[in-house]
Structure 1
Amino acid sequence: MFCHITLSIKSCTSIPPLSIMRLFGVSTQSIPALLAGLLLPQLAMSSLTPATKNLTVSGGFTYSYVFQPASDQKPTFLFVHGFPSGSHDWRHQIRDLSNAGYGVIAPDLLGYGGTDKPSEVEEYSVWKIASHMANILEHEEISQVIGVGHDWGCSALGMLANRYPEYLSALVFMAVPYSAPGPFDLDAINNLTEETFGYPSFGYWNFFNESDSATVLDEHVESSASITYPNEPSLWKTDLCPFGKAREWITSDKRAPLPSWLTQEESDKHISILRDGGSTGPLNWYKAGMRNIDVDKYDQIPASNLIIKQQTLFLMGQDDAASRPELAKSAAEQGKTEGYLPNVEVQELEGCGHWIQLEKPQEVFVALEGVAKKACK
């Protein structure tokens, strides 16, 4: 949850929320047999199950990733998850897009799922992780993808664009906008958001950086999952973001009802992933970010690579209390003004919190198809 943003709050023009669109099916009984025959290969694709593969990348770490090759010359999507569960967060998009003929690559990032989980904070460098993703693309002989990041995955996707822009035909940043590489000041962003919104958006980062944070999360997995995937997005304003509130909720073993977009079976799966993988690796993403471990490498990035020339979409939840949509609108405005996001658009989803891909899978599918169609022109 919850990657960092380094920008100033500015007034910006409101953008109408993404309209809800519905897909519809075609009955083969109502069309000629020949046309039905042409449709059958596409309908059969719904039974395909993407493969789970493993690859040892630079640095010696083994990554697990979901892979489904594209059909009909359609583009491939690279899905880059955030904190805390892994590629499983993309299950709706993996299903919908692979069934529609698109290629899909969804790695468990370092510290998650079936991928290696080093305990050293310095290994959680997005500089290194960008090269890991490039290794996977090279191994699969995929020259270009549409990159889709969520939460911390947006930071990794942004670095992939800075270091290996040739791999990306378009970019989608969900919940967290692109931010050009630079030092991160947690106190500054918390002071800014507290002054602007009435609470520090990233107050929980202090808890995540404490020496016992992984132990606390591992000993209280159910309450941690309950606040991570809240039934009401507003719960984060009171029980996650303010200083000390995340620790208080988790150590008190508080529970909230399941959100409408998460079944009991899905919740059990999330809890199983969190319990099996442990919290040390996932929390190291925060610790690495707060320590600015990559800052001495930023001057190696060519100035031209800091400009995201590709089509770029910021997809935001209207009710996200941590990654506020106002921040994305401001980032887009700033990026256009300063010239490093010349082709950025912002879409805001009504009735949606932080977990856009889980809360609004239909709308996400429509948005991603729209990006794919533009990228293929």
Structure 2
Amino acid sequence: MALSEYPNISKSIKLDDGTQYAYVYIEPATSSKPTFLFLHGFPSSSYDWRHQIEAFRTKGFGILAPDLLGYGDSDSPSAVEPYALKRMSDHLAEILVKQGVRKVIGVGHDWGSAFLSRFYTWHSEFLLATIFLAVGYVEPTGAPVDVDGVIALTQQLFGYPTFGYWKLFNTEEAGKLLDSHSQSASSLFYPQDPEIWKEHFGPVGAAEAWISSNKITPPPAWLTAEEIATHTKILAQKGYVGPLNWYKSAIRGGDVEFEASLPEERKHVKVPTLFVLAKEDYVGRPEIQKRGATWIQNLRIEEFPCGHWVQLEMPDKLNDLVLEFVSGL
């Protein structure tokens, strides 16, 4: 996607282990301007940062926005092992070194937030500050994600479970299901009414029922028909097998071997940090995300009246907040 949608400001790189990545890259206008590192989530690509790329580019900031592993114009291994966050963090560090970028302000959304969390764990020397959208900081636990535990906890707290879809995503059939019903899947992931996630995404079996029956909900006002077509084209490039491997790796303990002996000190974030949480995100509930505050020394929390896709739903408000936040660094 980076290469096709941003041909004049994108690059492709083959890393030492042979993995190919594509990314948007813009040098800062002056040495005093920092570079933003934008990490997208599921199921997205660097295209999800289009409103931020244009806004911050005009302000003279540097930008590096990769298509993460499994997406767009980057490689998409079918095996689960390459999707360990430690391995991908090392990839990201290598990209920064080879691009000559020493310091960045990290911005993550959704899985990009979890990735930014672990990039800080392993390569904090690159980060001036961290910004988490919708999903807050996720501390390393040295254990697989306990999906059943999250389901039970959120059922108790909110009256409905939020992680039921993880069970579908951990199956070998999920990629084929989503690929063969891509319009229905996209309709569920980017709904007009965020409340449908309470009934059709969070509960066990609900996402599979929605997608397999080819159900469609109206598109949100914050996505144009052209943007939906571009997003659909990007996801069709590689399909859903690679993107779903992020979930499989987390559930199957892909990072356990790396995190098991991690010192407690390495779990804490010491750079200025901003959480931008979404009041209408009924899966990534702000109440849950705020638990990550325990691990952060210098934290500011803001809540936006929108759904999960903060950078798409309220781009101007987000951009203004980010600019104000970084002005104080």
Provide the TM-score with structure 2 as the length reference.
0.95
Q: Relative contact order (C-alpha < 8 Å, sep 6+): which is higher?
A: 1
Provide closer, same or farther for how the CA distance between residues 251 and 125 of structure 1 changes in structure 2, counting only shifts above 3 A: same
User: Aligned residue for 1:371?
Assistant: 325
User: Aligned residue for 1:362?
Assistant: 316
Give ranges in structure 2 of 5+ residues lacking alignment.
Answer: 1-5
Provide the TM-score with structure 1 as the length reference.
0.83
User: Aligned residue for 2:3?
Assistant: none
1:64 aligns with 2:22: yes
What amino acid does structure 1 have at the position aligned with 2:219? L
- Structure 2 CA distance, aligned partners of 1:110 and 1:130? 11
- Structure 1 CA distance, aligned partners of 2:260 and 2:128? 24
1:210 aligns with 2:167: no
Q: Are 2:134 and 2:308, in contact at CA under 8 Å, matched by a contact in 1?
A: yes
User: Aligned residue for 1:311?
Assistant: 272
Alignment map for 1:63-102 (pairs within 5 Å):
63-72=21-30, 73-102=32-61
1:346 aligns with 2:313: no
Provide closer, same or farther for how the CA distance between residues 99 and 50 of structure 1 changes in structure 2, counting only shifts above 3 A: farther
Kindly state the Cα deviation for residue 126 of structure 1 after the two structures are TM-superposed: 0.5
- Structure 2 CA distance, aligned partners of 1:241 and 1:176? 16
1:170 aligns with 2:98: no
Kindly state the Cα deviation for residue 370 of structure 1 after the two structures are TM-superposed: 1.9
Alignment map for 1:249-268 (pairs within 5 Å):
249-268=210-229
Q: Are 1:94 and 1:104, in contact at CA under 8 Å, matched by a contact in 2?
A: yes
Q: Are 2:139 and 2:292, in contact at CA under 8 Å, matched by a contact in 1?
A: no
Kindly state the Cα deviation for residue 159 of structure 1 after the two structures are TM-superposed: 1.1
What amino acid does structure 1 have at the position aligned with 2:188? I
Alignment map for 1:188-203 (pairs within 5 Å):
188-203=149-164
Match of 2:115 among 126, 131, 156: 156
Alignment map for 1:103-142 (pairs within 5 Å):
103-142=62-101
Match of 2:256 among 288, 291, 295: 295
1:238 aligns with 2:199: yes
- Structure 1 CA distance, aligned partners of 2:327 and 2:102? 18
Sequence identity (%): 42
Kindly state the Cα deviation for residue 50 of structure 1 after the two structures are TM-superposed: 5.7
Kindly state the Cα deviation for residue 180 of structure 1 after the two structures are TM-superposed: 1.4
- Structure 2 CA distance, aligned partners of 1:216 and 1:265? 24
- Structure 2 CA distance, aligned partners of 1:58 and 1:156? 21
Kindly state the Cα deviation for residue 209 of structure 1 after the two structures are TM-superposed: 1.0
User: Aligned residue for 1:55?
Assistant: 13
Kindly state the Cα deviation for residue 330 of structure 1 after the two structures are TM-superposed: 3.1
Q: Is the partner of 2:132 in helix, strand or coil?
A: strand
What amino acid does structure 2 have at the position aligned with 1:62? Q
- Describe the superposition over 1:347-374 as per-residue Cα deviations: whole angstroms up to 9, x where unpaired: 1001x00000100100110121122212
Give ranges in structure 1 of 5+ residues lacking alignment.
Answer: 1-47
Match of 1:279 among 227, 240, 244: 240
- Describe the superposition over 1:245-287 as per-residue Cα deviations: whole angstroms up to 9, x where unpaired: 1111111111111101000111111111122220000000000
Give the aligned CA root-mean-square deviation in angstroms: 1.4
- Describe the superposition over 1:137-191 as per-residue Cα deviations: whole angstroms up to 9, x where unpaired: 1111111100001111111111110111110000011111112101221111110
- Describe the superposition over 1:206-253 as per-residue Cα deviations: whole angstroms up to 9, x where unpaired: 111112100000000111110010001101111111111111111111
What amino acid does structure 2 have at the position aligned with 1:68? I
Q: Are 1:65 and 1:105, in contact at CA under 8 Å, matched by a contact in 2?
A: yes
What amino acid does structure 2 have at the position aligned with 1:356? V
Q: Are 2:27 and 2:63, in contact at CA under 8 Å, matched by a contact in 1?
A: yes
Task: Please tell me whether Structure 1 or Structure 2 has the larger radius of gyration of its CA atoms.
Answer: 1
User: Aligned residue for 1:23?
Assistant: none
- Structure 2 CA distance, aligned partners of 1:111 and 1:64? 11
What amino acid does structure 1 have at the position aligned with 2:290? K
**How many residues align structurally?**
321
- Structure 2 CA distance, aligned partners of 1:374 and 1:49? 33
User: Aligned residue for 1:15?
Assistant: none
What amino acid does structure 2 have at the position aligned with 1:101? G
User: Aligned residue for 1:225?
Assistant: 186
Provide closer, same or farther for how the CA distance between residues 299 and 210 of structure 1 changes in structure 2, counting only shifts above 3 A: closer
